[in-house]
Amino acid sequence: MLTDPSTAWLSEPINNLFGRRMTIFIGAIFAILAPLGSAFTQNWQQLVVCRILLGIGMGLKEVTVPLFSAEAAPTNIRGGLVMSWQIWVAFGILLGTSANLAVVNVMPAKFVWRLQLGSAFLPAVPLVLGIFLVPESPRWLISKGRYDAAFKSLCKLRNSRSQAARDLYHIHAHAEQEKRIVEASGFSKFNNFITRVVEIFTIPRLRRANQAASFVMMSQIFCGIIIIASTIFVNAGATNIGALLASWGFDVVNFVFAWPAVWTIDTFGRRALLLFTFPNMFWTLLAAWMSFYIHHATTRLGLVALFIYLFDIFYSPGAGPVPLLTQLKYGPSLIATLACAGPLPGSISGLQSLASHFRAFSSPSRLKVLLASSPDLKSSCSC
């Protein structure tokens, strides 16, 4: 629970020292070794150690990959490219649910959980093999004074050398201007991790960015129900296999309807997407909750599934990808000027992880409250 958010903070000095590609590579190594170790553990203590190692890998990747995309992408497609992180997170969740369905009832239960945990290493293999085939972040290279390497990187990322030269100058000019703003605060002259963390709370621009992005990110965490989707379907009256199938459909909807945001996030805008999707997410969840009061089991399950899927349709292009892009767009340029992966993304990613774990631990008690007023459900469904 604590490893992922703490590593999100520690990714800043690692990014500062090694760069974006090496940080992603280190995280991917942990993401390979930890699941394999989990599959062969002999007691819960060994499993805890493996999960801690996996948290280290996830903390490094969840901060660095979106930031890497934002720094490498041209301005006109930056929003769509950065939100691809959310698309492939949704795809990974879909693969995980598919893996659970593939191994259920095909072998003894004592082996199923080992396959479920161990199979998580597979997506990290192509990441380890391919990360050094892409160019390093030009912004990070410029922050280190490596302008020749930054120009070569931009030449690979842009259509022509003239576009690469234009963006090189733009990044340099932007960095110099913001460097003067930061130096006026009096902290950056020390240029260490502690002072950079202090700056996100003392420099007005960074503080406002941190507050805005944190609120949006927290709204995503506390309205998302992916982690408890199977439990919701079980409590609505589905069998265990039926709940897995319904959750698989939920994950398919989440992945498919995340794609429209690739185009709408740069045309409609972030705020417009949130203002459109959040009210619709509210009434669909409210309708799903009210459907639990229906006594007819089949009707209850069908309506709960219907409104949960409608909620997912609105969640996927709005509250799903927008918070991540908000945290990167509200403050990364100053953070990149300070030559770090970012106390701002790190703090928000850590906050996101802690909130996600809190929501997971509190889900059983919240479901009991949800079902407490319905005697029929209390007798027919287990919380």
Residue 2, pLDDT above cutoff 80: no
CATH number, domain containing residue 203: 1.20.1250.20
Range 224-251 average pLDDT: 85
Prediction pTM value:
0.76
Give the chain's domain count.
1
Three-state DSSP at 339 gives coil
Check residue 107 and give its pLDDT: 67
What's the pLDDT score for residue 356?
53
Residue 183 confidence (pLDDT) above 90: no
pLDDT of residue 136: 94
- Written as one string, the DSSP assignment of 181-218 is HHHTTT-TTT-SHHHHHHHHHHSHHHHHHHHHHHHHHH
For residue 346, pLDDT beyond 70: no
Question: What is the mean pLDDT of the segment spanning 3-18?
Answer: 73
Range of the domain at 291: 3-380
Written as one letter, the residue type at 105 is: N
Instruction: Work out the average pLDDT over 318-332.
Output: 71
pLDDT: which is higher, 331 or 143: 143
**What rounded mean pLDDT belongs to the chain?**
79
Buried b (16+ CB within 10 A) or exposed e, 225-234: bbebbbbbbb
Radius of gyration (Cα) for the chain, nearest Å? 22
Torsion angles phi and psi, residue 274, rounded to 5: -65, -40
- DSSP three-state, residue 142: helix
Q: What is the pLDDT of residues 252-288, one digit of tens each?
A: 999 999 898 888 887 888 888 889 999 999 999 999 9
Q: Which of 109-123, 146-160, 204-218, 287-301 has the lowest mean pLDDT?
A: 204-218
Q: Are 237 and 305 in contact (CB under 8 A)?
A: no
Band (152; pLDDT cuts 50, 70, 90) = very high
* Span of 34-48, 128-142, 347-361 with lowest mean pLDDT: 347-361
- Comparing CA positions, the residue from 218, 174, 207 lying closest to residue 331 is 207
b/e sequence 85-103, b meaning 16+ C-beta within 10 Å: bbbebbbebbbbbebbeeb
